[in-house]
Structure 1
Amino acid sequence: MAKPEQDCDWVWVRAPSEADTTVPHWPSELESDSEAERPLKVVFLQPAKYWTDAAPIGNGRLGAMVWGGVTTEKLQLNHDTLWTGEPGNYTNSSAPTVLSKVRKLVDNGQFSQATAAAFDLSGEHSAVYQPLGDLDLDFTELGDSYTSYRRELDLNTACVTVSYNIGAVQYRRQHFSSKPHQAIITKVSANKSGSVSFAVSLTSQLHHTISINSSNQIILEGTCPSSNDTPAGIKFSAILGLQVSNGTVKSSDGKTLKISNADSVVLLLTAASSFAGPFVRPMNSTVDPQSVAQSTFDKMKGLSYSDIYQYHLDDYKNLFQRVTLQLGDAANADTASESTADRIKSYKDDEDQSLVELLFHYGRYLLISSSRPGTQVSNLQGIWNKDTEPAWDAAPHLNINLQMNYWPALPCDLSECQEPLFDFISSLSVNGSKTAKVNYEANGWVAHQVTDIWAKTSPDRGDPVWALWPMGGAWLCTHLWEHYSYTLDKGFLEKTAYPLLEGCASYLLDWLIPGSNGYLETNPSTSPEHAFIAPDGKNASVNYSTTMDMAIIREIFFSVVSAAEILEKSESDLVNKIKTALPNLPPYKIARDGTLMEWAIDFQDPEIHHRHVSHLFGLFPGHTITPEKTPDLCKAVANSLYKRGDEGPGWSTVWKMALWARLRSSEHAYTMVKHLFDLVDPAHESDYEGGLYSNLFTAHPPFQIDANFGFTAGIAEILVQSTEQELHLLPALPRDKWPNGCVKGLKARGRVTVNICWKKGQLHEALVWCDNDQNNLERLRYGKQVAPLTLVGGKLYRFDADLNCLKNWPLRK
C-alpha cells in the first residue's frame, strides 16, 4: 500500500466509541497495512508474595486479584456493592446554631477558636467497602518444584496468564473478568492430557456459609456487617461452576471440589448482592442474590471457553483500542527475562519510555475494569480490596480522589465509563438537599469530603481540617459540564447535567454571604487537609473564602450560565442571581512571597511541602487561570509549585504533573513523570512517599488508585490541551526525552478527535476531525504558532508542522 504524504509512518487504529460512530475511512493515499499491536504487559517472574504483587482483573462490578501461585493459586474477589451499613440520616439539627457561632468567631479573627468550635459540625463516619472472598486452587499434589515461571497481565486482552513447567509438563492458567457475561473465568490446562488435578474452594472473611449443589456448584452465601457490626447488612452470594474436560469431580466435605486427571478445567464464577440502591435499607431489599447469581451463571450454559473469551475480547477492545500511544521506536521491554518490577527499579537510569506507555495504558485499563455503565463509582481502590478495614475505608473522597479517578475518561475517549459517576451525583443530590436544608438552611444540595455507597452527604466525623469541606458536591458537578464540553450531548446537558448544576448553584448562592470587605464569602471555609498558623500562634484550619472555594464556585457559575444559554434558560432567576454574584466573588490574590494565596489572608504556612495543592485548582482541573489570559497568576502558581516541592504521595505527584503541563513546562511535567517511578517495597511501604508497586498500582502509600488515573490524564494533558475555542498540540512535550512518537484517538472539547505524530522533538503532522458542526473551535496552537481553525463536521483535516492545512477528506460511515 502507498504511504501517506511526507513519509508519515503511522496509520489509524481505533475502534468506534458509542458517542462517535463516524469513523474515518482513509483516502487511498493514507491507506496502509495496519501496524502490529504493541505489546502492553505487566510481567511477574514469580508468584505474588504481597497483595500488591497480584494482578487485577475486573468488569466494573466483579473484580479479582490474581496471585499466581504454583502449589496454591488465590483469586481474591470483590463485588462493587459490598459495603457495611445502611442508609443514614445525613442531617444535624443543631448545625445552624453551631454554624452561627463559628461564623462569628471567624468574623472576629478568632480562627483557632472557630476551628475548635467547628468540631461540632461533624457527622458520622462513612460505611466501609468489603471484600467478597477468595477463590482458592490447591495443586499441592503436583509438587512445588517448577521452572520457567511467568505471570503477565496483558492490557490488550484484559487477561492474566500464568505459566510454568513441572517436569516435562507445562501448566497454564488464564483469568479474565467478563463484562458481557458478568463472570470471572479461569481456564486451567496442561500440554499433556490427564495432567490437571487440583482442589477448588471458596471462602470469605465475612459471615458466610458454603454448600455444594447437585450440579457440583460451590455456593457461597454471606452478609456484610450492618451499622452496629452485626451480620444484618447487605447479603451476597457467589456461585462457582466447572467445565471439565476428561476428568472426574467429587467432593468429600461438602465445601471443596476435587478435580482429577483432567485435560483442562474452566471455572466460572458469578456473584450478586441484595443492594437495591442507596436509599433502600438492606433489611427491606427484595433482591435475592443467590437467584441473581444463578440466573447470571445459567446464561453461560452451552457456551465454550472460546465463546465467552471472544465476547469478553470484543467488548473490552471496543473501549481499549480507541487510543494508542507510542513514545519512541518499537517497544523494547516485552521480554521474559525482565519483570515490570525490575523495569521500575531501573527507570531512573535507563528512562525506558515504553514503561511510561505501559503506565498510561494501565490507567485506561483500570478505569475500564472498575467503572462501567450500571456499576458503582470507582472507589479509593477501584474495586480491588482485600481487607474488612481497608485504608480510609476505601471510601470515595471528594476533595481530590474520586474526581481524579475520572480525569482520564474524556480525553482518553472513555466517556461511557463516567456513567456511574453521574448516577452517583444524582444520588448525592437527593441526600444532599436534606443536608443543605437542615444543616445550613440553604436551598439546593451539598456533599462534603467523604461519601460511600449510601450517598453520604454530611461532614465526616473528626477534625475540620478535612471533615468540614462542603464543596465536594460542587467539585463533582464540574464533571457534568466537562462531559458536555467534550461530547456536545445536549440531551445529557438538559436531562442530567443542568438539573444537578442548578441544585448545586442554588446551594452555593445561599452558602455565599456578604463579607466585611465588600465581597461575597464562604464562612466557614477550609483548604482541604491543610492548616495555617492563626494570629494567636496556634494551628487552625477554619477561616473564610479559601482560594479553592472560590475557584470551584466560579467554575460552577460559569458552567450554569453557559449551559443556560445553550438550553435557552438565560433569563431564569437562578442565572440572574449568578450573574449578580460573579463580579462580587473575591479575586485571586498573590502572597508576599510571590505564590498564589491559599487562604483569604496571607497566613503563615506551617507545612510548606503539604501534599495538597488545592489552591491551584483554577489552573487544573479548572479553567479560570491560563497562560494566555492570566500570566501573572500562572507565575504565582509556578512559585507555589516550587514552594510545595516535588515530593508527595502518588496522587499529589500526578496532580503536579498536570499543573506543570498546563503551565506548558515540559521539563517540570517530565520531572513529575519520572518522580512516580520508584518501586515500593510492601514490607516497608511507610518508608516511601508515592511510587509504584510491582503490579503498577500507585502508592500513597498504602495503595490508592487515584494516581493511576491521574497519571493517564496527565500524559494526555502533556500531549493535547483544549478549550472550547482552542486546540493546543503538544503543549508540554518533553522533546529531549520523547523525541519521536505518536498518539492517536485523544479527544478534545467540541467532540473533536486528534492524532499527532512528532519527530526529533517537533510536530510532524496532525490529523483532526469531528462529526458535527457544533464545535466552537477558532484556533490551532503549537508552541508559539497560532493558526485559525474551522472544523466542518464530517471532514478529516491534516496539518503540517507549520499548522498549514495540507488537505481534508470526507468522513464516511
Structure 2
Amino acid sequence: MSFESSIRGFAESALPAMSHPRYYLVLLCCLLASRCLAQQPLKLWYAQPAATWTDALPLGNGRLGAMVFGGVSQEHIQFNEATLWTGRPRPYNRPGAAQYLPQIRQLLAEGKQAEAEALAEQHFMGLKDHEESYAAAQAAWLQRVRAVPVAQATAATHAWQPLAIPTPNGWESAGLEGLDGAVWLKTTFDLPTAWVGKDLTLSLGRIRDVDFTYVNGQLIGTDEGISKKRRYRVPAAALRPGRNEVAVQVLNFYDKGGLIGVKEKQPVFVVYPEGSAPETGVPLSSSWQYWVQDAEPPLSPSYQASYQPFGDLRLDFSSAGAVTDYRRELDVSQAVARTSYVQSGVKFTREYFASAPAQALVCHLMADSKGKISLKARFQSLHAQAKIYRVDDHTLALAVQVRDGVLRGVSYLRVSAKGGKVTVTDTQIQLENVDEATLCLAAATSFENYQDATGQPEKLVAQALGRSQGQAYETLKTAHVADYQKLFQDFAIDLGHSPQEQLPTDQRILKFSPAADPALLALYVQYGRYLLVASSRAGGLPANLQGIWNEALTPSWGSKYTTNINLEMNYWPAEVLGLAACTAPLVQFIDEAAQAGQATAKSNYDAPGWVLHHNTDIWRGTAPINA
C-alpha cells in the first residue's frame, strides 16, 4: 500500500483529530514561521515494488508525467503528456438554445423535472461530437454484428481466451483496456437430474451496455443499460440433460464494458428453478471464455473530450538471483525517485526524475561493479494506432494516434551508456554488459492551442533531446533539482518527530495517529505541494482531475476539468503554501474559458459576458452538459 493509495484513509483518520483548536494554532504558527524552519527529510519509501498503478511513484514536470513501479526483473514506467486528449476543435454550443430556456424554467417551476430534462437534453445542452452521424452508423454496425448466427459465433474455431467473471470495473480491469464493440462470452453448467423438465431462472447481474443471452443456442433474453439486473427465464425445452452452455453477446459502445455483476448478498451468477431462491441454485463458474467479434463500433457521441495515457516503457533486465536490501523512494525535496537493491552480490541503483529544463523524463542506471547492466528497453501503448520504430543508433520512437480525435503524439527514447554494447532495432533498445546508462524520454503532441491541433511533435521531441544530448547525467540532475527547488523550497513545516519516521511509508500510514507520528502530517502537506509543482507549471495546462497522471483510455469523468469544485480544489493551497507560480496555467485557462464562454453566454442565455458550466476539457468547451 502506497502513500497515494492510502491517502483517503489517512485523511479520514487525521482530519478529525486536527479539528481540535490546538492543531489549528500549531499549523498557523508553522505557516507564519515557515521560512525559518529547518526542513525535515521528505521521503516516501517502500520495501517492495509497486503492485498496482496507484502504488507507483509519480513524477512530473508540468507537461510530462510518469508513474514508476520500481520492479526488479522488469521496470515499468507508465507515462503521460498533458496535451494528449480525445476530441478536436469544434462547435460546442447548440444554436438557438436560449429560446427554450423560458419553457425549461416553467417546467421546473411546475415540478415537471423529467419533462424539463428531456427538453433541455434535446435543445439546450451542448452539441455532442458525432451526434449527427451516430444513429445511422450505429444501426449499420448493429445489423452487421447481429447477422452472425449464434452457432457460428460460439463455435470452438474462434480464438477463445479465459476471462474471470465478474469484472466490476469493466473488462478493462481484466486487461482489455480500450475495448469497445461486440464480444462473445460463454460458460457451462451441469443440469441436476431433479431439474429436468423445469423452467429455470438465469441470473447474470448487470451488463454494460447491451446483451443478447443464449442457452444452448436459444435466445432467452436481451436488455440494455447498466442499471438493469439481468434475470432471464430459461424454458425447460431449451435445456438438455447434463452439460448446458450459456453464451452472451455483449455490445459495448463506449466506456467500460462486460459482465460487471452486482453488489448484493445473494448469489449473482447462478441458475436456479423458477420460484426458488437463488441460494438453492447452481453457481456459474467464474472462469468464462471470450472472443472479440468486432472492436470497431461507431464513435459514440460525447459532450467533451477525455485525457489519455501516452505509453509505457518496459525495462527487462537480464540479471538474476535473490534480492536483498530493496528500497523504493521518492525524495519530495528534490523530485527524484530511486530504486535500489542487491542481487547476486551487486548493488543496483536507478534514479528517475522529470526535468523541466530538459523537457524529458530521465532514468539513470548504475551498478557498483562494471559491466553488470544488461537490459532490453521497449515501448508499449494502449492506443490501437501505435507504431514503434528506430530513429538512429541510440534512439527508439513511439508514435500514437488517439481513436476518437485528431491529436497524435510522438515519444523518443534515447540512451547513452558507458562500456558494453548498445543496439537499437525497430522494436527495442538492447544494452549488454554496460557500466552505467542514462535513458532520456521526450514526448509531445500535435496540440498547439485549444483552436489548433496541427503541431509537429517529431520536431518538438527532437529539439528536447537535442538540448540534453552530450550532457552528463549529473549535469542534468543538478539543473533539474535547482529548477524544482526554486518553486518548492520557499515553504517548510515542522510538527515534531518520532521513531515512526524510520518505518516505510505504507507502514506509517497503517499505524498513524497525530500524536505518534506528527511528521507524517508534515510530509502529507509537502507531498501535496510536490504534486502541484509536478502537474502545473507556467506555460502548460492546469492540473486536471488526476493531476497529470492517467493510465486508462476511459478514465473516471474523463480526467478532465470539473469546474464546479475539483479544479478549484487543486489550487486551494497554492498561494498559502508558497506555490503562487503554479497558478499560472489556471489563470491562462480562465482567460481562454472566458473567450470561449462568450459564445455560450449568447447561444444559451442571449446574454453579454461569458459563462462556463460545470465541466470543460482541453478544447475549452463551455456549453452545459449532462441534463
Report the TM-score range of the alignment, normalised by the length of the smaller protein.
Answer: 0.5 to 0.7
Aligned equivalent of 1:446, options 589, 599, 611 = 611
Conserved 8 A contact 1:11-1:35: no
The alignment of Structure 1 onto Structure 2 pairs a total of residues equal to: 422
Residue 236 of structure 1 pairs with residue 239 of structure 2? no
CA distance in 2, matches of 1:405, 1:144: 44
Paired AA for residue 394 in structure 1: S
Instruction: Report the CA distance between 1:408 and its aligned residue.
Output: 1.3
**Which of 313, 319, 324 matches 2:487?**
319
Q: Report how far residue 95 of structure 1 moved.
A: 1.8
Other-structure match for 1:122? 125
The Cα of 1:35 is off from its aligned counterpart by: 7.0
Answer whether contact 1:332 1:354 (CA < 8 A) is retained. no
Aligned mate of 2:61, from 48, 59, 62: 59
Distance 1:408 1:241 in 2: 37
Higher relative contact order (CA 8 A, sep 6+): 2
Q: Which residue of 2 aligns with 1:182?
A: 359
The letter for the 1-side match of 2:469 is K
Letter in 2 for 1:136: R
1:39 aligns with 2:12: no
Alignment CA distance shift 1:36-1:197 (3 Å): farther
Q: Which amino acid aligns with 1:324?
A: A
- Please state whether the residue corresponding to 2:616 is helix, strand or coil: coil
Secondary structure at 2:493 match in 1: strand
CA deviation after TM superposition for structure 1 residue 213, in Å:
2.5
* Structure 1 residue 133, shift from structure 2 partner: 0.3
2:448 & 2:565 partners in 1: Cα distance?
A: 28
Tell me the CA shift for residue 114 of structure 1.
Answer: 3.7
Task: Choose 346-355 or 106-115, whichever is displaced more.
Answer: 106-115
1:321, distance to aligned residue in structure 2 (A): 0.9
Q: Which residue of 2 aligns with 1:223?
A: 401
CA distance in 1, matches of 2:352, 2:331: 11
Once the two structures are TM-superposed, the CA of residue 107 in structure 1 deviates from its matched residue by 3.9
Contact 2:321 2:344 in 1 (8 A): no
Q: In structure 2, what is the equivalent of residue 266 of structure 1?
A: 438
> 1:36–1:247: structure 2 CA closer, same or farther, 3 Å change rule?
farther
- Computed over aligned residues only, the root mean square deviation of the Cα atoms, in angstroms, reads 2.2
Task: Determine if contact 1:323/1:413 at 8 Å carries over to the other structure.
Answer: yes
Displacement of 1:367 = 0.4
Q: Describe the SS at the equivalent of 2:562.
A: coil
Equivalent residue of 1:410, what SS? coil
Distance 1:78 1:119 in 2: 34
Structure 2 length as normaliser, TM-score? 0.65
Alignment map for 1:382-461 (pairs within 5 Å) = 382-460=547-625
Alignment of 1:292-691 (within 5 A): 292-328=460-496, 330=497, 332-335=499-502, 338-348=503-513, 351-460=516-625, 462=626, 464=627
Contact 1:39 1:331 in 2 (8 A): no
Question: Does structure 2 conserve the Cα–Cα contact (< 8 Å) formed by 1:71 and 1:142?
Answer: yes
| Equivalent residue, structure 1, for 2:155 | none
1:588-647 CA distance string (max 9 Å, x none)? xxxxxxxxxxxxxxxxxxxxxxxxxxxxxxxxxxxxxxxxxxxxxxxxxxxxxxxxxxxx
Q: 1:213 to 1:166 in 2, by over 3 A?
A: same
SS in 1 for 2:101: helix
More strand by share: 2
Contact 1:150 1:164 survives alignment (8 Å): yes
Select which of 377, 382, 385 maps to 1:200.
377
> Distance between the aligned counterparts of 1:438 and 1:180, measured in 2?
43
Structure-2 change in CA distance of 1:35 and 1:116 (3 Å): closer
Q: Give yes or no for contact 2:393–2:423 (8 Å, CA) kept in 1.
A: no
CA deviation profile, 1:397-421 (whole Å, cap 9, x unmatched): 0111001011111111211111111
Residue 331 (structure 1) shift: 5.5
Cα distance change of structure 1 residues 114 and 35 upon mapping to structure 2, 3 Å threshold: closer
SS state at 1:325 partner: coil
Deviations 1:61-112 (A, max 9, x none): 0110000000000110000000011012121124223211112224445556
CA-CA distance at 1:366 after TM superposition: 0.3
1:142 correspondence with 2:319: yes
Corresponding residue SS for 1:39: coil
Do structure 1's residue 211 and structure 2's residue 369 form an aligned pair? Answer: no
Q: Partners of 1:456 and 1:322 in 2: how far apart?
A: 36
Structure 1 residue 219, shift from structure 2 partner: 1.3
Q: Percent identity?
A: 37
Q: 1 CA distance for matches of 2:38 and 2:326?
A: 26
**Retained in 2: the 8 A contact 1:131–1:386?**
yes
2:155 is the alignment partner of 1:153: no
The reply on whether 1:288 has 2:291 as its aligned counterpart is no
Q: Does the 8 Å CA contact 1:13/1:321 hold for their aligned counterparts?
A: no
Contact 2:416 2:437 in 1 (8 A): yes
Q: Distance in 2 between matches of 1:405 and 1:325?
A: 20
**Secondary structure of 2:511's aligned partner:** helix
Q: 1:109 to 1:391 in 2, by over 3 A?
A: closer
Secondary structure of the residue aligned to 1:136 is strand
Query: Gaps spanning 5+ residues in structure 1: where?
Result: 1-7, 15-33, 228-232, 465-813
What amino acid is the match of 1:241? Answer: R
Residues 726-762 of structure 1, C-alpha deviations (whole Å, 9 max, x = no match): xxxxxxxxxxxxxxxxxxxxxxxxxxxxxxxxxxxxx
Q: Is the 8 A contact 1:196 1:264 kept in 2?
A: yes
